[in-house]
Amino acid sequence: MPALTADQTLSLALSFRTDAQTISDFLHDHWGELSPDDRAQVHDNVFDMLLRADDVNALAGILVLDSAQSSVDQINAAVGSANQFLKDVADVKKAVGIVTAILGLASAIAAKNPSDIVNGLKALQSGLA
């Protein structure tokens, strides 16, 4: 199987989320027809599908970073440069901009949002230039 692109992986993650919604709708539409054990199993399947969608979305983030020739090393280097910059900067407005960029990047990473990770890294690097 050929390697998946970031766009294909994001599409799969969205499909898994849609599948989870469809399974959830099935659960609620057929609630009375399902045994308590079946309800629990279908509910667990919805939860598992959402977890897998998050995993695939995280993979898409990695692929986006790879395709943008960004890496964890680049993020670490930018954050390290920002830390040094903040120690030496006299311009408070510029310092606030760097802190905002770092927070944006951290939020994008925590949210597993691939495009925001790349944009956050670019914003931080641009602010340090």
From the first residue on, what is the mean pLDDT of each consecutive set of 10 residues in the chain (129 residues)? 77 89 90 91 90 85 65 77 78 81 84 78 84
- pTM score, whole prediction: 0.51
The answer to whether 6 touches 64, Cβ cutoff 8 Å, is: yes
Q: What is the pLDDT of residue 76?
A: 78
Largest Cα–Cα distance of the chain, in whole Å? 68
The answer to whether 109 touches 57, Cβ cutoff 8 Å, is: no
Task: Report the C-alpha gap between 91 and 128 in whole angstroms.
Answer: 12
Q: What is the pLDDT of residue 36?
A: 93
